[in-house]
Structures are given as C-alpha cells and as structure tokens.
Amino acid sequence: MRATRAAIAASVVYLGVGLAWAWSGAQPAPPVLVTGWLVLVAAAGAFIPGIANQVTLARAYLAAPALVYAMAPGGFGPLAVTVAVAGLTDLVDGTIARRTRAVSSFGGGLDPVVDGLFIGAMGLGLTAAGAIPLWLALVAVARYILPALGGAVLVLRRRRVDFRHTVTGQISTTLNLVLIGGVALLRGLNLDPRNLVLGAEIVIPIATMATFVHLAYALRQRAGTTGPA
C-alpha cells in the first residue's frame, strides 16, 4: 500500500488540528505524549486510501482527547463533544463509502480497529480515574480488537474475508458508547455512577460474547456455502 497525495493531505490537516489542540493549553495531558500519538496515526494515515477511510480514521485521532478528558475530573463537556464527533464519523463514513462506490474489505476491517481504539481509550481513561474496573475496559477493547485480529489472520492466509457489520456488533457498539459514555456523564455531573457501572459489568460482557458467537456462526455459514477452496 502506497502513500497517496489525498491521504497525505488528510494526515497533514488532521495533524495540524491535533497539534493546535495538544499545545493550546486546553487539555490537561502532557503535550509531548499526545503529540506522539497524533504523529503515529498521521504517519499510518498517509498510507490509507479513500475519503471514507480517512473519515473512519478520525476516531483514531479522537482516541487521544477521549483518553485525556475521561481521566480529567472536569472533562465531561469536552468528552461529550469528542464522543459526539466520533459518533458522527461512524455514521458518515459508511454513507460516503457507498455513495463513492468505495466499499472495501479494508475499510470494513479498519472500522472495528478504530472503534476499539476510541472506546478503549475512553474506557482506560475512566479506569485511571477510578470510575470503572480495568477488566471492563479490556473487555470493551477485546470486542473490537479480537475480530480485527481474526480477520487479519484470515487475510494473511489468503482467505477471502467479507467485513460487514452484524446486528449484534452494532448493538454492542451502541451499548458500549451508551454505558461507558454514561459513566463519564454521571461522573462529570458529580453523580454516583456505581449502578450504571454494575449494569455495564453485566451487559457489556454479554453483548461482547453475543457478537463473537454471531461472527463465528456467520463465518461457519459462509464456509459451508463456499465449500473447500
């Protein structure tokens, strides 16, 4: 995969906006650490083709403010804006891909990776703030990373992989955002989030397991349909 002018231009724009935020004094984290993440994502983004994929990649950049504001005691307002922007990119990227006829397996595989980065960053930030247990944040990350790793293994083995959203996967993502984001909301409003955390500890693992089972069933059904290679 080669770097393209459009991808490089998108990386430059993202990096410029990110650096302006990182060094503006508007965020409580060390600017050097945030800058390192932004530069890493921008470097990778220069090799990611397609407008839709660049919109998807925005959530990888937004993982930095999600982590920072989830950790900060007074970060609810900025975190809410960050989650809203991330949610908007999640709605828009698929529409752009379909309208530009740029739907691809690569884009389908990129989507859960950046979702995992974003939700994982927010979860780890809340863990550092003592709002949720570490294992819950790790389950939320595993929901996205494990299917992505499984898909990567199949691609490396030269298997044809059709990356698509499943109903259980979409429900799981919504629950992750609502429950983990809800904990951040209650924390930002100085309300007790323990009941919501308890609900998240029950619902998120169940939704994650349901997603894995559905994916396994879909892969098995596809293998039975296509037959031996």
pLDDT tens column, 187-211: 877 888 899 999 999 999 999 998 8
The count of residues in the chain is: 229
Burial class from Cβ neighbours inside 10 Å (0-12, 13-18, 19+) for residue 158 reads: exposed
pLDDT: which is higher, 63 or 147: 63
Distance, CA of 183 to CA of 164 (rounded, Å):
29
pLDDT digits (tens, 9 = 90+) for 74-133: 777 888 889 889 989 988 888 888 888 877 777 777 888 888 889 889 999 999 988 899
Residue 223's pLDDT band, with cuts at 50, 70 and 90, is low
pLDDT at 222: 59
Structural domain spans, the chain: 52-226
For the stretch 27-41, pLDDT in tens is: 777 889 899 999 999
Mean residue pLDDT across the chain: 83
The predicted model scores a pTM of 0.83
Tell me the pLDDT band of 227, cut-offs 50, 70 and 90: very low
Please check whether residue 78 is in contact with residue 184, taking contact to mean a CB–CB distance below 8 angstroms: no
| Whether residue 162 has pLDDT greater than 90 | no
CATH match of 52-226 with 1.20.120.1760: yes
